[in-house]
Structures are given as structure tokens and as C-alpha cells.
Amino acid sequence: MNQPHHFPSAPGFDDDVPMIDETMVDHGRAVDFERGMNAIPPLAIGLIATCVVVFVFQVLGGGLQNLPKLIEQGALERARVEQGEWWRLISAAFMHGGPDHLIGNMMMLFVLGMACEHAFGISQFLVLYLACALGGSLLSLMGDKPSVGASGAIFGLAGALIVLFWRTRGRLELRHRQIGVVLAIWAGYQLLLGFGLMGETVDNRAHLGGLITGMLCALILRPAVLETDRKVVEKHPLVRAALAAAVVAVLATAVPFAQHLVG
């Protein structure tokens, strides 16, 4: 290993003056993506808990055995949205069609939510999740069947991570560099599965709408994981404005949704 070169002292200079060595030079090292990641992401867990609570009310209200009841509880249906019940664009993303549907989605939400919450920060993660849920629901409306499930938003999280890793290549270090490829393969496989073997029950429009929305959002969102002080991102005026809009959307959805869910 090359040693730092010490020049002879000039007259009048102290021999104890420190010299620059390799440890004092910033080589622009990439940021370890997984460093500091919270194994218990609060917002992701909060979203999971909300979906579980909603599912319990679905079961108690008989929504799983009765399609008209499921729609009444808050499922996405084009006719209802056209009548002004826009809140269904968000409420449907917190509902599920059965235990296996719920468990599968919640497992992916925990994994991808942990990564996105770490990558973008809590405020931007909430904005991202709601935007992807909305994007998935909007494209789903092009179909003619009622829809429920968080998978549109979850596809959006995967899309956001794929674009993030592409945008920050060279600046983010992934311990498992195949993660971006794995996410892309998973998303592609799920879409093909929906078009093929499970085309009658899987809402691929919601998946595709969420995926596209997540990818577009990742081009705009500011990666908090690259900031020395993550609070800088949270305090940014645009982030605060987007967060305020997201909170308003949640509150405006929660009131009519709760009325239909428990009514």
C-alpha cells in the first residue's frame, strides 16, 4: 500500500504539522443502502395494521361471501365512482378478497414498505403509497369488474425502488446487487400470471397502473437515503405540501369509508 509522502521541513516550519493522508480524502464512496434501515418500519406496519382491521370489519359485515355487500363496504366499482364516490379509489386499496389475498399482500408490503420508507423517508413514503393506490385504481376503472386489494400500491413500491436504484447507480451500494433485477422479474411475472393463469381474478390493470405511477413518482421524489441529515428532506416545502395533501385525502376517505364499512 502506498504510504503518504512527507516532504522535508522548510526553515521556519514546525515538523509536527499534520500531513494529508488517505483517511482524510473523500473518494465519493457509495452509500450503503441497507445501513440504518429500520427493521420495524412504523408507517409500513401502520398500513398493514389498517388493512388487517379493515379486513376484520369486512368479515364481520359479511362482505367476503356477498359481492353486493363487498361493494357497499367500499370496493372499487366504476358506477359508484361515477356517481361521486371518489373515495373508493383509495378505500379499495385497504380491502381484500380473502385471507390468502390479505396475507400475501401484507408480506410484500412489509418488505417493500421497509425499503421505501428507508429510501424516501416517512412523509414521501406515504405520498408514494397513496399515489400508487390511486394510480392503480384509476387504471382499474377501465375494466368492468369490482376490485379490492393493496397490490396496485405494492406494485408501485416495487416500481419506485427499481427506478431509484437505476437513478442512483454508483451512488447507492446494494449488498445484494441483484435486488433490482429480482424486483423487475417479480413484477413481470406477476403481470404475466394475471394475464394468463389467473386472468379472471387478478386485476392486472391495477397492478400496471400502480407500477407506472410508482416509477414516475421515483423520478420526482428526493432519496432521503442519500442525505446526511434525513430531516432535510422531511422539512422541504414541497414534501410538506405533498404530505399535507396526502393527509387530507386520507381523512376525506376515512369518513365515508368507515360509514360504509361498519354500516
Q: Is 151 a catalytic residue?
A: yes
pLDDT in the model for residue 7:
40
**pLDDT tier at 243, thresholds 50, 70, 90:** very high
Say how many domains are in the chain: 1
As a whole number, mean pLDDT of residues 180-205 equals 62
- Of the listed ranges 13-17, 30-34, 68-72, 73-77, the least confidently predicted one is 13-17
pLDDT in the model for residue 240:
96
As a whole number, mean pLDDT of residues 66-70 equals 93
The torsion angles phi and psi of 173, rounded to 5 degrees, stand at -105, 120
Q: Please say whether the beta carbons of 217 and 145 come within 8 A.
A: no
As a whole number, mean pLDDT of residues 145-160 equals 94
Q: Report the alpha-carbon distance of residue 151 to residue 83 in Å, rounded.
A: 25
Looking at the domain assignment, is residue 5 inside a domain? Answer: no
Q: Report the alpha-carbon distance of residue 124 to residue 230 in Å, rounded.
A: 12
Q: Report the alpha-carbon distance of residue 54 to residue 111 in Å, rounded.
A: 21
Looking at the domain assignment, is residue 1 inside a domain? Answer: no
Looking at the domain assignment, is residue 183 inside a domain? Answer: yes
What is the separation of C-alpha 71 from the centre of its chain, rounded to a whole number of angstroms? Answer: 26
Q: Report the alpha-carbon distance of residue 57 to residue 80 in Å, rounded.
A: 21
Question: Which one of the listed residues 96, 101, 207, 260 is annotated catalytic?
Answer: 207
Looking at the domain assignment, is residue 223 inside a domain? Answer: yes
User: End-to-end distance of the chain based on CA atoms, in angstroms?
Assistant: 73
Domain that holds residue 45: 39-262
Question: Which one of the listed residues 151, 176, 236, 260 is annotated catalytic?
Answer: 151
SS3 category, 135: helix
> What pTM value is reported for the model?
0.83
Q: Is 207 a catalytic residue?
A: yes
Looking at the domain assignment, is residue 122 inside a domain? Answer: yes
pLDDT in the model for residue 193:
57
**pLDDT tier at 224, thresholds 50, 70, 90:** very high
Looking at the domain assignment, is residue 128 inside a domain? Answer: yes
Looking at the domain assignment, is residue 24 inside a domain? Answer: no
Looking at the domain assignment, is residue 11 inside a domain? Answer: no
CATH number for the domain that contains residue 123: 1.20.1540.10
pLDDT in the model for residue 26:
42
Residue that wins the pLDDT comparison between 174 and 19: 174
pLDDT at residue 207 greater than cutoff 70: yes
pLDDT at residue 114 greater than cutoff 50: yes
Burial 77-105 (b: 16+ CB within 10 A, else e): bbebbeeebbbbbbbbbbbbbeeebbebb
- Bridge partners, residue 147, by sequence: 76
Residues constituting the chain: 263
